Every structure is written in structure tokens, then in C-alpha cells.
A and B are shown apart, each in its own frame.
Chain A
Amino acid sequence: MAARRKSRGESRVLRYLVLGSWALVCLLPILWFLSIGFRPRTEVITPRPIYWPTFSLDAWNLLVSDWPIALYLRNSVLAVTGSVIIDLILAIPAAYALARYDFRGREDIGFYILSTRMMAPAIVAVPIFFLFRQMGLLDTIWALMLIYAAINLSLVTWIIRSYMLDIPKELEDAARTDGASDLRILWEIIIPACRPGIITAAVIAAIFAINEFLFTLLIASTANAYTMSVALANFTGGSDGIIYNAIALVSFLAFVPILILVILVQKHLSRGLTMGAVKG
């Protein structure tokens, strides 16, 4: 008995040693990067790194005066929100069909939807670029909205489908014997019952949309359609080199809302990230 308790104590030390070290691996670069955001530019790139910099709001002043950061933020928010709304409108009926109806080709259609997630952005980048140019959509947030919606549609559909599968059929049967139509059942019973799934799908889709880089880089060529993610890559300020302290600050401006969203759906995150394959 004593031996067993001892081995448990040792394993606890090892456990917290391992987990603690990885927590540091996660946190230290983030904290260090945060410190980059609040130091003067002269202390960013130096012959030897400076670990205890002087505090400065240089980066903030630069953002406010020289960079249309409010515009980038607005672009990000509009494009991301719009894309999530498109996704939900398209995905909820599709997920309902996949979860509740028996029809020919269901497996294949479901897999086709899933497989669009596998397509590398680079594969479709050239054709999409030409398509949007023809439609006059280059350099607009509409183009970003459409492309983000396309990227996330498979994910959103599969996540919502997984939550719909969990809803007991009896709920609908009762409504059906009362004469409710299929669409009314979807609207009044299914959607409220899988609200956590819908919210999780929306949050994960929003994160992927905020992060999207390649398409945004190609579609947005001026500040009209720059999002936070791509605006970052353009903080190179030409001959001045890369303006790291401004980059750091912007990345935290995007990080904080994402962190809050993720904390809200934490419980559902693993299920959402695997498109419903893991029920955790």
C-alpha cells in the first residue's frame, strides 16, 4: 500500500513536470511576442536579443496614425460574419438531409462534401482568381466572404450533422403525428435542439476564416479588402524592413476575441475540430 502511494506520488511529479514544460513552451513565445508589441522598434532587432525592454507605445501610435487598422478589422469582421451566415444557411438543411433521410447516394454526397475540405487552396487559387476577376469581385470583401464560406462549408455541415444525429427521433415523431411539416420540424425542433453544434460550427468556421491567408493574399490587393491576417504580411513597410512590434500588436488584437470565443465553446471543441468524429 505504501509502495503504491509512493509510485503515484512520483508519477504526479513527472506528470506536472511534462505538462508544465509544455505549458511553458506554449506560453513563453506568446509572452515574449507580447513584449515585442510594447517595445520601441530599436529594441526589436538587435545584435543580441533584449529580454527586458523599455516599455513603449510606439507600435500602437504607428497603427493608429499610419495604418488603417480599423478598416482591416472591419473587413475581417464583415467577411467572416458574412461567410458564417452563408455557411449556416446552406449547411443546416444539408446536414438535416444527411442526418435524417434515407436516400440514394447519401454516403457519396456526404463524402463529397467532406472531401472539399481536402482541396489545397493552392489548387483552386488560379481558377478562382480568374473567376473573381471576370466577375469584377477582386479586391472586395464580397469575394472574401464567398471564398471563406466555401472553405468552411464542409466542416460546418459535418459538425451540425453529427449533433443532429444525437437528437432522439421521438421528438420529431411526436410533432409529425401532430401534422407538422418537415420544414417546421427542422425549424422548431431540430435547430433549437442542436444549438450547441451550430454555435460550435460557427465559431470554428469563424476561426478558420480569420486565419485564411492564401486566398486573401490573392484576392485583396489594396486596403479595400485587406483583412487582419494578410495586413500582417504587409507590415513590411518597404525599405524599413518588417515592423515587428506593430505585427505583434495586431496579432494580439485578433488573438483576444478568438480566445474568448474558444473559451465559450471549449467543451465542444474536440468534437467540432474532428467534424463530429469524436464525441468529447
Chain B
Amino acid sequence: MATARRRSPGLRKAFPYLLLAPAMLYLLAITLYPGLFAIYQSLFVVKFVNWTWTGLGNYRLILQDREFWAALGNTAIIGGISLALQTLIALTLAYFAYRDPLIRGWRIVFLMPMLFMPSAVAFIWKLAFNDGRVISDLLMGLGLVEGNVDWIGSIWLARLTLIVADVWQWTPFLFIIFVAGLQGQDQEIEEAARLDGASWPKIFWNISLPMLRPIMVVAVTLRGIDITTMFTNVFVMTQGAPGGATETMSYFIYRQGFRAFNFGYASAASVLMLILTIVIAQTVVKRAFRSGKS
């Protein structure tokens, strides 16, 4: 029986590849094919069914397109501020929570914003800021503003609404990972430092936080990736207003492709974003996951 089951060395060697093949083929079909298609389409001016060869024409236009650079800048600004804020808040909360004996019971409360559909969250904040005037009313109650604030009328206020929505929904993501990371650490080191008379903030800053670093890098990297693809909130809340100040890369591509039907142009933007993604993946993310594993 046992000898009958023993495989030839060739099959033995090929076996892991066979196990991986279905998943790999699927992923290649869904990434490589679209990638190649986008590169091909980006070389044409596409007007409905008419494809006219333009070579690098789309790229020449796009690199001079102020809206493209604005979208890139907006994505960096909105994403950067948002990511910094949620990291800071999540870390502060995790510091207070991870030694709390009751946190297992009520951490589900902290997770709730994350469990709402993103489109629903966008509507919550659209209503709170713009249509329902709740935030303005609360601020008036505190005497901070007089009258209604036109949140979508100014560049920074409109960006702020997107940042608030993202921070509210996704701080829980970082929080739960930070808490798990801190709780997974060897408690004895902290206890020893405690017996030596160190204060909790000092212990956290000098011992726990450095040990948390690899996990933090992984979590913040994952969140960072998702933030750079921000679309739903822009689509529901601002549509890029005012004057494109909240248009992100994803929304730019969507608008060029599916609103203006400039598919060749949208594909050129996709290719540029893809190149950027690959560069970031090969540098930041690869390193983050390597250090996270060890």
C-alpha cells in the first residue's frame, strides 16, 4: 500500500505548484490581464467603440493635467492626515485599554463603526455635516461658530469631513490590532520594570511600544494601502467638491472613465497609479511584512 502511494520525484516536486495553480491563475487573470489591458487601452483615444491610436499621447496630456496632480496631492494630504490621526488615537486608546481586565467584554463597542457598510458611514457623516446640520448645531451650542457652517464650501472643511468619516470608521481597525499586539507581549518584563518603580507611561514608551513596532508597521501599512484607494466617501459625500479639492486618485479615474467616458485617459491614469502601487509594494510593504513575521 505504502509503496503504491509513493510518487515519482517529478510529481513530488510539482505538487506544491499544482496546489497553488488554481489560486495563481485566478489572481493573474484578475490582475495581470487588467494590467495589460489598461496599458494597451492607454495608448488609444477611446470614444465609445472607436479606438484611435495615440501612442503616448494620453500620458503626455495627463502629466500636464493639473487635475491629475491635484488628485495625487489630495490623496496624499487627506490620506496622510487621516492615517496619522487614527494611528495616534488608536495608540492612545490601546495604551489605556490593554491592561484593562474588562476590555474583552466591551471592545465590541469600539469595533462598531468598522462594521458599518462604508457607504452607510458616508451617509451618516454627509447627513451630520451637510444635510442634517447636526455638527453645525452642536458647535453653535458650544458657542464655537455662529450660524451654519458650509462644510463643502471651503477646501479644508470639505477635506476635514472626509478625514472625520475615515478616522471614525477605521480607528477601530488599528485599535484592535494594537491591543492584541500589546496583550501578546511578555507581561513579565513590564512587571519587572514596575517593581523597579517605573511609571506606566514610561514603561509603555520605553518597553511596550518598541516591542509593538513590527506589528504597528504591518497594521499601519495595511490601513495606508486602503486609505490611498479612498473612493466611497468621496463619491457619496463630496464628489470632489469644492473645485476638485477632495478628488482622490480613485475618484479621478472613475470620473474620467465612467462619467466623461475617456476610457483611454482613465487607463493611462490607472497605469500610472499601478506603477506607483508596485513601487510602494516592493519597498514599504515587503519590508513591513518581513519584519512583522520575525
In angstroms, Cα B127 to Cα A46, docked, is 11
In angstroms, Cα B119 to Cα A232, docked, is 7
In angstroms, Cα B173 to Cα A269, docked, is 10
In chain A, residues 187-224, which have Cβ atoms closer than 8 Å to a Cβ of chain B? 207, 210-211, 213-214, 217-218
In chain B, residues 256-277, which have Cβ atoms closer than 8 Å to a Cβ of chain A? 257-258, 263, 266-267, 270, 273-274, 277
Indicate if A174 sits at the interface (CB-CB under 8 A).
no
The CB with the most chain A CB atoms within 10 A, among B2, B20, B35, is that of B20
Report A-chain residues with C-beta under 8 Å of the C-beta of B27.
112-113, 116, 150, 153-154
In angstroms, Cα B158 to Cα A243, docked, is 22
Complex contact B131–A45 (CB within 8 A): yes
Indicate whether A251 sits within 8 Å of B116 (C-beta atoms), given known contacts A120-B277, A150-B26: yes
Report B-chain residues with C-beta under 8 Å of the C-beta of A90.
22-23, 26
Complex contact B250–A121 (CB within 8 A): yes
Indicate if A145 sits at the interface (CB-CB under 8 A).
no
Complex contact A266–B253 (CB within 8 A): no
Complex contact B37–A270 (CB within 8 A): no
Report A-chain residues with C-beta under 8 Å of the C-beta of B177.
270, 273-274, 278, 280
Complex contact A150–B274 (CB within 8 A): no
Q: From the candidates A48, A124, A232, name the one contacting B31 in the complex (CB within 8 A).
A: A124
Of A16-24, A54-62, A63-71, the segment with at least 4 beta carbons within 8 Å of chain B is A16-24
Report B-chain residues with C-beta under 8 Å of the C-beta of A15.
96-97, 100
Complex contact A26–B23 (CB within 8 A): no
In chain A, residues 85-100, which have Cβ atoms closer than 8 Å to a Cβ of chain B? 89-91, 93-94, 96-98
In angstroms, Cα B281 to Cα A269, docked, is 24
Q: From the candidates B41, B131, B225, name the one contacting A118 in the complex (CB within 8 A).
A: B225
In angstroms, Cα B89 to Cα A190, docked, is 39
Complex contact A33–B124 (CB within 8 A): yes
Indicate if A141 sits at the interface (CB-CB under 8 A).
no
Complex contact A120–B120 (CB within 8 A): no
Complex contact A119–B31 (CB within 8 A): yes
Report A-chain residues with C-beta under 8 Å of the C-beta of B109.
23, 26-27
Q: DSSP class of A's interface residues: helix, strand, loop or mixed?
A: helix
Indicate if A127 sits at the interface (CB-CB under 8 A).
yes
In angstroms, Cα B263 to Cα A218, docked, is 14
Report A-chain residues with C-beta under 8 Å of the C-beta of B108.
259, 262-263, 266
Q: From the candidates B1, B93, B251, name the one contacting A19 in the complex (CB within 8 A).
A: B93
Indicate if A114 sits at the interface (CB-CB under 8 A).
yes
In angstroms, Cα B107 to Cα A26, docked, is 11
A6 CB to nearest chain B CB (Å): 13
Q: From the candidates A89, A119, A153, A214, name the one contacting B232 in the complex (CB within 8 A).
A: A214
In chain B, residues 90-134, which have Cβ atoms closer than 8 Å to a Cβ of chain A? 92-93, 96-97, 100, 106-113, 115-120, 123-128, 131-134
The CB with the most chain B CB atoms within 10 A, among A25, A91, A115, is that of A115
Complex contact B33–A179 (CB within 8 A): no
In angstroms, Cα B232 to Cα A210, docked, is 13
Q: From the candidates B22, B115, B253, name the one contacting A93 in the complex (CB within 8 A).
A: B22
Indicate if B231 sits at the interface (CB-CB under 8 A).
yes
Complex contact B180–A270 (CB within 8 A): yes
Indicate whether A125 sits within 8 Å of B253 (C-beta atoms), given known contacts A22-B110, A97-B20, A263-B108: yes
Q: From the candidates A25, A150, A248, name the one contacting B30 in the complex (CB within 8 A).
A: A150
Report A-chain residues with C-beta under 8 Å of the C-beta of B17.
97, 103
In chain A, residues 1-38, which have Cβ atoms closer than 8 Å to a Cβ of chain B? 11, 14-15, 18-19, 22-23, 25-27, 29-30, 32-33, 36
Complex contact A273–B22 (CB within 8 A): no
Complex contact B132–A27 (CB within 8 A): no
Indicate if A229 sits at the interface (CB-CB under 8 A).
yes
Name the residue on B nearest A11 (C-beta).
B200
Complex contact A230–B24 (CB within 8 A): no
B88 CB to nearest chain A CB (Å): 12
In chain B, residues 214-268, which have Cβ atoms closer than 8 Å to a Cβ of chain A? 215, 218-219, 222, 225, 228-229, 231-232, 235-236, 249-251, 253-254, 257-258, 263, 266-267
Pull 24 A–B residue pairs with CB atoms less than 8 Å apart, ordered by A.
Answer: A15-B97, A19-B100, A22-B93, A23-B110, A29-B113, A29-B128, A44-B132, A109-B24, A122-B231, A122-B253, A123-B273, A123-B277, A126-B253, A126-B257, A157-B23, A211-B119, A213-B118, A213-B231, A214-B250, A248-B120, A262-B108, A274-B219, A278-B181, A279-B184
Kindly list 4 other residue pairs between chains A and B, CB separation below 8 angstroms, not including A111-B286, A149-B26, A274-B222.
A30-B124, A207-B115, A213-B119, A269-B111
